[in-house]
Amino acid sequence: MLVGAAPAHGAARARVRAAPPTAFAWLVPAAAPANWPVLVAPATVTLAYPPSFRPVGGDPGSVSAALASPRSPYLAYLNATPRQGREQPHGFAAFRVALLGEDHDEAVHLEAAREGIRFRVGVGSCVMDRYTTRVGHHPYREIACLVVDPHGRGAVVVAAATTSPWARYERLLETAVAAFTVG
């Protein structure tokens, strides 16, 4: 499904229409390159990240790696967080838009969404969106996927970068998402 929206401050609404067959065609499950470090969360979430990134702090139970920037909090960012109960594969796009709005991000716009994507372990629902942070007004583009393993354990992986250098980091972020595992 392709979803378009421009909500702000918790007033998130999504319009759903058929997705083009190429949405998330790049997402082919594969191991990360051999030289990529790996972070493992207590809930068996595994996140591989490019060697140029560094581990950073985050929410309890999550793992994160980022590439620092002097002008924004992060130039590029990866995070994996175990499912916290409300996320569901069906409707994940609308859930993600609402979550960004609740976090008071601005100009949230969903570009694409797809459900039923195969991952290395499990199946996922993914969205690609853009938003501007409330604090500092930094524009980001992100890929966010809820992945559920065969035992029902789930986690969300987020791969984001500021919009101006997105093209420079897009392949690295996609590689990290395609290598992500839960379970």
- Asked whether residue 30 carries a pLDDT value surpassing 80, the answer given is yes
Specify the pTM: 0.87
Chain segment 43-101, per-residue pLDDT in tens? 789 999 999 999 999 888 899 999 987 776 899 999 999 988 788 889 998 888 888 87
Nearest residue to 178 (alpha-carbon basis) of 111, 118, 88 = 118
Provide the 8-state DSSP code for 163: S
Chain segment 151-181, per-residue pLDDT in tens? 999 999 999 999 988 999 999 999 999 999 9
> Domains in the chain, please, with CATH?
36-182 (3.40.1000.10)
Q: Which residues pair with 112 in a beta bridge?
A: 128
CA distances from 78 to 5, 21, 134, 152, 175 (A): 24, 26, 19, 23, 11
CA distances from 111 to 2, 3, 6, 167 (A): 7, 6, 10, 16
